Amino acid sequence: QVQLVGSGGGLVQAGGSLRLSCAASVRTFSNYAMAWFRQAPGKEREFVANINWSGDTTYYADSVKGRFTISRDNAKNRVYLQMNSLKPEDTAVYYCAAKSRKPSTIADEYNYWGQGTQVTVSS
């Protein structure tokens, strides 16, 4: 079993930055690919970024490419999402997720989810 706790959300002005963190309670964190998804009010949950077990392979949604960076620290059982040049359309609840084996962009393939952290970007 994997328990995930996300943190780091908040209110920021457009153009600002935030760093989300997700702490995993699991025996072998490096067994899991990790991802961030987000869900805005009235919209479906959408993929943001993922990272493989070792951290050397990442993938981003086109909407965040060049602005967001996903990373992980297997020694600390944590995954991060550095968000720069934030836009009002980035406003959403952000969720970290874990799955075994290879990373994916499909939410249904992730077995474990954090509780979500709110990010609000004002214009």
31 in Cβ contact with 7 (< 8 Å): no
User: pLDDT tens, 31-58?
Assistant: 999 999 999 999 999 999 999 999 999 9
Whole-number mean pLDDT of the chain? 97
114 in Cβ contact with 26 (< 8 Å): no
User: pLDDT tens, 61-83?
Assistant: 999 999 999 999 999 999 999 99
Q: Is the pLDDT of residue 112 over 90?
A: yes
CA atoms of 18 and 109, how far apart (whole Å): 27
Q: Is the pLDDT of residue 1 over 90?
A: no
